[in-house]
Every structure is written in structure tokens, then in C-alpha cells.
Structure 1
Amino acid sequence: MKQIFALVLAVVALSLVLSHWQTIVAVAAAGVLVWLAVLAVTGLRARRVNARRQERGRQSLLARRAQVQHEQYLADDERGTFGTYRPASL
């Protein structure tokens, strides 16, 4: 009895799949497109976060160097005025 029920269920499932295969393919394709869109958005977000971190790091280094040069200027050190680019000696 169980085998007959399983066979009938398999035939019904196969007939549903064969009669609605276009819908199944369309739903699967839509799912793949949504998955790709999520991957793209996640990748772009991670890229933007990484760029912000790099910019903050660059600004932090710039501020630190400016502070050192300011302290050198206050100590009447020539490097505080010209920084790492000294003028040519005449």
C-alpha cells in the first residue's frame, strides 16, 4: 500500500513539475538574480567601508605629521617651517 501511495505521489509531483516547468524556472531565475544583487550590494558596502577606513587613516597620519611640524615650529626648528621638503640651499 505504501509503495502504491509513493508511486501515485511521484506521478502527481512529476506531472506538476512537467506542467509548470516554466514557472519553476522563472522563480529559480528570479532567486538567482536576487542572490546576485545581494552579493553586489554587500560587496559595494564593504568596499565603501574599507575606503572610509583608509581615508580616516590617511587623515590621521596627516594630522599627526602636522602636529609634529607645529611643535617643531614652536621650538624654532627649521623642519617645522618646511616639513619634509626643504628648500634648496643657495
Structure 2
Amino acid sequence: MSPADILDVARDGILTVILVSAPLMVVGLVVGVIVSLIQALTQIQEQTLVFVPKILAIFATMIIALPFMGDMMNGVTARIMAKVVSGG
């Protein structure tokens, strides 16, 4: 494998990590903002209140996005293995 191939694999891996984690991060951010707005409106200042809805929302999103995440990871693994087997 040449250095250019190694950089391609690294770039592909970083892009895959970003794409696989993006749905979970976006849902966590949105739920956190919504719960924070509700806390501000009701003047409930409990710091731990945000964790349960966030965990449930991220878990539900993970179940829904699991096929997409698996396909992305399978694709990057297949591309890496093809480069390793072909020698470049």
C-alpha cells in the first residue's frame, strides 16, 4: 500500500465515523435544546432532567438508523479489504 492509499483509507474512515454518528448527535442536540427550553419556561433547574429523554431519543434513533449505520460500516470495511487484498 502506498502512502496515498493509506491517506485514502484514513479519510474514508473519518468520513464514515462522521456520517455514522451524525444522526445520533443531531437527535441528542435537538432533544437537549428542547428540554432546556422547557426547563427555562417552567423554571425547573434540575440538571439531571435532560439525561433520560436524551438517552431514550438516542436509543430510538440508534434502532431506526442501525441498517444505515451497518451498511456504511460494511461498505468502508469492504473497500479497505479490497485495497489490502489487491495491494493498492
Indicate the TM-score class for this superposition, using the shorter chain for normalisation: 0.3 to 0.5
Structure number with greater Rg is: 1
TM-score (norm 1): 0.37
TM-score (norm 2): 0.38
- More relative contact order, 1 or 2 (CA 8 Å, 6+ apart): 2
- Kindly indicate which of the two structures has a greater share of residues assigned to helix: 2
